[in-house]
């Protein structure tokens, strides 16, 4: 109901055309309900127009006619919408649609003034909990954490931009058996000076030392276990120490998050849900889902084709499945989310399938989504804290900023040192994020410095450079023509490259929708890179400041919309732009 006319004009050509072809197909061929997709999709080649409909080929069997004949009949019978210039039949029966330049211009102009750049606010009134990053307390963040953090954050931003009320929750690993080793280790190995200098690094050193000793020292193991039990029973001294571990860790995590421009609404670790664990077990028993086996309490998932899931250990302790179930319960109670999204690496797939299945059996009203990504490994092997072959995340960020600063000093020597540093941060951090976000999350990633810090070709700096060039042109325009009012001059498409740019701009909302619905930020990254490439070609090949009046304004306006889309798109990936680079 709201803003009906406005929404109408900003719904994408793909949507409008799909509605039209679907209705027209149904009426021309008298198809009440058919499985066949009657809508359109974008073409991958301009010579085939802007959108194509493939229904004729799929309908051939049902209608008992040749595909080209179906297409022919359709084209003859249907009355074209006014935004379509022409319609063509090609190949085995593709129906190709060419949009009018006027409709394209009009749409791009509408984008220019829309704060959401044509992106539908489908999330209005809906809450989504996104659980990402979630590092373990007392362990420094290493390069393996970058994916959950950066991919999770991009999904977070995408959902917010579509109008969802997003609750970004950092589900810290702040509970578990490792704290027994931590407590006893801390009392024996802690170095106060080191703890001041680099708290989490020291905590990690303590953990590794304690872990190593536990391997050969049985009494040490027993003591660790005893300390853990004391902690779990609320012993004041152990509790205080444990809280200190968490506090120090969060403080250090936050300096990283600050650098990455990542912000959470909640930092609720696993321990937050401890009180609910006995109740959860009781619920599982009441529903008849849990049973005893070798002293442990398990849920049999054989009917779902999965191995059993332990919900209470034989020593009476709870484990992660139980915590995760309790967490869902708590989130549903408090937020009534439309869905809960978990962003973790691929190793946890089975675990999520198991506890999603159990939560369904429990009748929990939650739409649970596991967004997994490929594990990051080193060329030699996977890394592990215990092995000690890790690259710290902070070191990666330092290196990125240092390399970017070197470039900035060379290319922008006139800038103040402060400006150069600010710029180097935007470029360096952007490069790291873009590397991760520009590929399918689910592909395996082998870490190399060269790749992580890529600043050439398909990279964040390419996009930032395109943005800065536009800003520069735009400013020069206003200096040279201070009295011109851009809105007096409509966008007018003449050259092929202008049309290509305009078409790409109209597809921004589709890119956002697709990236969000598939939980794949790389779809947006791809789109932006494509857009920047088209823009760069436009920039290099047609004059705008030197063009005649009217044409000049039209092109400047195209520039302005491109800049808006680039800036907004990059910001959804968590990548900053600067007017000058």
The correct pick among 17, 60, 340, 362 for binding RNA (CB under 7 A) is 60
Distance of CA 141 to CAs 24, 84, 154, 254, Å? 56, 53, 19, 11
Binding positions for RNA, 425-444, rule CB under 7 A: 427, 438-440, 442-444
Binding positions for RNA, 561-580, rule CB under 7 A: 580
Q: For residue 29, give both structure tokens.
A: 């061929």
Cα Rg, the chain, nearest whole Å = 28
Closest approach, Cβ 345 to RNA, in A, equals: 8
| Per-residue contact string for residues 185-224; x = within reach of RNA by CB under 7 A | ----------------------------------------
Closest approach, Cβ 212 to RNA, in A, equals: 16
Report if residue 403 touches RNA, rule: CB under 7 A: no
Query: Given the complex with RNA, which of 195 and 271 has the nearer CB atom?
Result: 271
Judged by CB under 7 A, the stretch of 109-117, 149-157, 356-364, 465-473 that binds RNA is: 465-473
Judged by CB under 7 A, the stretch of 79-87, 157-165, 169-177, 277-285 that binds RNA is: 169-177
Please tell me whether residue 74 adopts helix, strand or coil conformation: helix
Answer whether 136's CB lies under 8 Å from 175's CB: no
Query: Given the complex with RNA, which of 282 and 442 has the nearer CB atom?
Result: 442
Binding positions for RNA, 364-383, rule CB under 7 A: 374-375, 377, 382
Mind giving me the DSSP string for 494-519? -SHHHHHHHHHHHTHHHHHHHHHHTT
Q: Which helix (DSSP H) or strand (DSSP E) does residue 476 occupy?
A: helix 460-480
DSSP bridge partners of 136: 173
Closest approach, Cβ 6 to RNA, in A, equals: 25
Q: For residue 509, give both structure tokens.
A: 């909302």
Report if residue 356 touches RNA, rule: CB under 7 A: no
Judged by CB under 7 A, the stretch of 113-121, 143-151, 256-264, 408-416 that binds RNA is: 408-416
Report if residue 43 touches RNA, rule: CB under 7 A: yes
Binding positions for RNA, 71-90, rule CB under 7 A: 90
Report if residue 183 touches RNA, rule: CB under 7 A: no
Report if residue 296 touches RNA, rule: CB under 7 A: yes
Closest approach, Cβ 187 to RNA, in A, equals: 21
Q: Rounded distance, CA 16 to CA 295, Å?
A: 61
Q: Rounded distance, CA 12 to CA 493, Å?
A: 19
The shares of helix, strand and coil residues in the chain, as percent rounded to the nearest 5, are 60, 10, 30
DSSP bridge partners of 299: 290, 309
Report if residue 389 touches RNA, rule: CB under 7 A: no
Distance of CA 496 to CAs 46, 386, 493, 500, 541, Å? 10, 58, 8, 6, 11
DSSP bridge partners of 369: 341
Report if residue 232 touches RNA, rule: CB under 7 A: no
Binding positions for RNA, 299-338, rule CB under 7 A: 305, 307-308, 310, 313-315, 317, 319-320, 323
The correct pick among 278, 279, 388, 543 for binding RNA (CB under 7 A) is 543
The correct pick among 129, 151, 397, 468 for binding RNA (CB under 7 A) is 468
Query: Given the complex with RNA, which of 44 and 219 has the nearer CB atom?
Result: 44
Q: How many chain residues are in contact with RNA, going by CB under 7 A?
A: 102
| Per-residue contact string for residues 87-116; x = within reach of RNA by CB under 7 A | ---xxx-x-x--------------------
Q: Rounded distance, CA 252 to CA 238, Å?
A: 21
Q: Rounded distance, CA 105 to CA 86, Å?
A: 17
Closest approach, Cβ 492 to RNA, in A, equals: 17
Distance of CA 84 to CAs 13, 79, 99, 128, 455, Å? 10, 10, 4, 38, 41
The correct pick among 27, 188, 472, 495 for binding RNA (CB under 7 A) is 472
Q: Rounded distance, CA 407 to CA 409, Å?
A: 5
Strands (E), 106-150: 127-131
Query: Given the complex with RNA, which of 36 and 332 has the nearer CB atom?
Result: 36
Query: DSSP assignment, residue 303?
Result: G
Closest approach, Cβ 96 to RNA, in A, equals: 5
Q: Rounded distance, CA 528 to CA 99, Å?
A: 22
Q: For residue 188, give both structure tokens.
A: 């024996």
Judged by CB under 7 A, the stretch of 71-79, 98-106, 113-121, 175-183 that binds RNA is: 175-183
Residue found by looking up tokens 């697709």 in the block? 514
Beta strands 445-446; 290-293: pairing state: unpaired
Report if residue 348 touches RNA, rule: CB under 7 A: yes
Judged by CB under 7 A, the stretch of 216-224, 229-237, 449-457, 561-569 that binds RNA is: 449-457
**178-189 and 218-232 helices, crossing angle to 10°:** 110
Closest approach, Cβ 517 to RNA, in A, equals: 9
The correct pick among 295, 360, 398, 495 for binding RNA (CB under 7 A) is 295
Report if residue 457 touches RNA, rule: CB under 7 A: yes
The correct pick among 299, 326, 455, 531 for binding RNA (CB under 7 A) is 455
The correct pick among 57, 166, 241, 284 for binding RNA (CB under 7 A) is 57
Answer whether 273's CB lies under 8 Å from 259's CB: no
Closest approach, Cβ 247 to RNA, in A, equals: 19
Residue found by looking up tokens 């220019």 in the block? 112
Q: Is the torsion defined by CA of 491, 493, 496, 502 positive or negative? A: positive
Report if residue 550 touches RNA, rule: CB under 7 A: no
Judged by CB under 7 A, the stretch of 150-158, 170-178, 219-227, 333-341 that binds RNA is: 170-178
Binding positions for RNA, 507-536, rule CB under 7 A: 514, 518, 520, 522-523, 526, 529, 533, 536
**218-232 and 199-216 helices, crossing angle to 10°:** 130
Binding positions for RNA, 253-292, rule CB under 7 A: 270
Report if residue 384 touches RNA, rule: CB under 7 A: no
């Amino acid at each position: 109901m709201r803003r009906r006319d406005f929404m109408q004009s900003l719904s994408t050509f793909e949507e409008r055309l799909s509605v039209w072809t679907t209705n027209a197909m149904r009426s021309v061929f008298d198809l009440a309900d058919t499985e066949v997709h009657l809508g359109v999709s974008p073409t991958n080649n301009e010579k085939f127009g802007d959108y194509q409909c493939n229904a004729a080929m799929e309908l051939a069997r049902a209608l008992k006619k040749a595909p080209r004949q179906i297409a022919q009949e359709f084209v003859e019978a249907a009355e074209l919408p006014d935004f379509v210039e022409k319609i063509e039949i090609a190949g085995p029966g593709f129906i190709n649609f060419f949009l009018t330049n006027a409709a394209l211009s009009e749409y791009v102009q509408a984008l220019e003034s829309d704060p959401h750049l044509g992106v539908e606010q489908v999330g209005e009134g809906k809450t989504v909990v996104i659980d990402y990053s979630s590092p373990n307390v007392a362990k420094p963040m290493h390069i393996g954490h970058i994916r959950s953090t950066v991919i999770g954050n991009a999904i977070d931003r995408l959902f917010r931009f579509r109008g969802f009320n997003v609750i970004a929750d950092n589900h810290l690993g702040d509970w578990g058996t490792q704290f027994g080793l931590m407590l006893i280790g801390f009392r024996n190995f802690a170095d106060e000076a080191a703890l001041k200098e680099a708290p989490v690094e020291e905590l990690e050193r303590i953990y590794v030392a304690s872990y190593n000793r536990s391997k050969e020292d049985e009494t040490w193991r027993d003591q660790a276990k005893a300390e853990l039990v004391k902690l779990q029973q609320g012993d004041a001294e152990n509790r205080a120490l444990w809280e200190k571990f968490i506090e120090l860790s969060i403080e250090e995590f936050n300096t990283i998050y600050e650098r990455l421009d990542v912000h959470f609404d909640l930092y609720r670790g696993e321990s937050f849900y401890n009180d609910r664990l006995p109740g959860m077990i009781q619920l599982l028993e009441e529903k008849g889902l849990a049973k005893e086996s070798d002293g442990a309490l398990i849920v049999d998932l054989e009917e779902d084709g999965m191995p059993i899931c332990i919900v209470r250990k034989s020593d009476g302790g709870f484990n992660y499945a139980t915590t995760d179930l309790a967490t869902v319960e708590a989130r549903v109670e408090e937020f009534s989310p439309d869905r809960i999204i978990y962003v973790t690496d691929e190793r946890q797939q089975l675990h999520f399938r198991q506890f999603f299945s159990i939560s369904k059996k429990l009748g929990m009203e939650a739409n649970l989504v596991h967004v997994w990504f490929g594990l990051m490994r080193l060329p030699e092997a996977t890394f592990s804290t215990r092995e000690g072959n890790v690259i710290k995340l902070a070191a990666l960020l330092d290196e990125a900023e240092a390399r970017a600063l070197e470039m900035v000093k060379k290319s922008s020597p006139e800038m103040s040192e402060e400006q150069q540093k600010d710029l180097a941060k935007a470029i360096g951090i952007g490069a790291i994020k873009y590397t991760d976000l520009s590929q399918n999350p689910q592909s395996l990633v082998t870490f190399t410095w060269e790749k992580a810090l890529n600043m050439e070709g398909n990279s964040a700096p390419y996009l930032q450079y395109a943005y800065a060039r536009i800003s520069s042109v735009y400013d020069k325009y206003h200096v040279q023509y201070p009295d011109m009012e851009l809105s007096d001059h409509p966008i007018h498409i003449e050259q092929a490259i202008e049309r290509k740019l305009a078409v790409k701009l109209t597809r921004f909302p589709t890119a956002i929708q697709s990236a969000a619905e598939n939980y794949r930020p790389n779809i947006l990254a791809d789109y932006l890179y494509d857009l920047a490439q088209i823009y760069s070609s436009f920039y290099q090949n047609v004059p705008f400041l030197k063009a005649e009046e009217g044409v000049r304004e039209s092109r400047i306006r195209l520039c302005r919309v491109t800049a808006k889309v680039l800036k907004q798109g990059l910001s959804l990936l968590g990548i900053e732009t600067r007017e000058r680079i």
